[in-house]
Chains A and B, each alone.
Chain A
Amino acid sequence: MAMRATLRCLSANFSPRLPLLSSAGRDNRAARLRWVSGTRRTFSSCSVLSTALKFTEKHEWVQVEGGIGTVGISSYAQDALGDVVYCGLPEVGQRLEQMDEFGALESVKAASELYSPLTGEVTAINTQLAENPGLVNKDCYAEGWLIKMTIEKPEEVDGLMDQAAYDKFIKSLEE
Chain B
Amino acid sequence: IVALKKTPLFDFHKAHDGKMVNFAGWSLPVQYKDSHIVSHMHTREHCSIFDVSHMLQTKVHGKDRVKFMESLVVADIAELKSNQGTLSLFTNEKGGIIDDLIVTKTDQGYLYVVSNAGCAEKDSVHMKVRLAEFKAAGLDVDLEFLDEALLAVQGPSMFRVLQEGLKDNLNKLTFMTSTVATVFGVPDCRITRCGYTGEDGVEISVSRLRAVELIEKLLANSEVKLAGLAARDSLRLEAGLCLYGNDIDETTTPVEATLVWTIGKRRRKDKDFPGAEIIVPQIKAKTFRKRVGLVSTGPPVRQHTPILSPDGKVIGEVTSGCPSPCLKKNVAMGYVDSEFAKNGTEIQVEVRKKAVGAVVSRMPFVPTNYYMG
Q: A residues within 8 Å of B by Cβ?
A: 8-17, 33-35, 39, 82-83, 85-86, 88, 104, 106-109, 111
Contacts and interface: CB of A to CB of B under 8 A. Distances in A.
Contact of A34 (B20, B230, B352): B20
B325 A16 contact: no
B109 to A, nearest CB: 34
6 contacts: A8-B302, A11-B246, A14-B21, A83-B37, A86-B323, A109-B234
B19 A111 contact: no
Nearest to A85: B323
Interface stretch (B22-30, B184-192, B265-273, B279-287): B22-30
A14 B302 contact: no
A11 B330 contact: no
A88 B246 CA distance: 25
Interface in B3-43: 17, 19-25, 30, 35-37, 40
Given A86-B300, A86-B330, A108-B36, A35 B19 contact: yes
Contacts of A34: 20
B158 interface: no
Interface of A (DSSP majority class)? loop
Shortest 4 CB-CB distances between A and B: which pairs?
Answer: A16-B21, A11-B245, A8-B302, A35-B19
B26 to A, nearest CB: 10
Interface in B199-245: 229-230, 233-234, 237, 243-245
A138 to B, nearest CB: 12
Given A11-B245, A108-B234, A39 B17 contact: yes
A13 B24 contact: yes
Contacts of B322: 9, 108-109
A104 B352 contact: yes
B357 to A, nearest CB: 15
A22 B90 CA distance: 42
A9 B118 contact: no
B36 A106 contact: no
A86 B37 contact: no
B230 A8 contact: no
Contacts of B244: 11
A9 B303 contact: yes
Most buried by B among A12, A16, A83: A16
B264 interface: no
Contacts of B165: none
B300 A85 contact: yes
A17 B300 contact: no
B88 interface: no
A9 B233 contact: yes
A29 to B, nearest CB: 11
A109 B234 CA distance: 8
A32 to B, nearest CB: 13
B230 A109 contact: yes
Given A13-B25, A106-B323, 4 more contacts: A9-B303, A14-B22, A83-B36, A104-B299
Most buried by B among A82, A106, A108: A108
A15 B22 contact: yes
Nearest to B37: A83
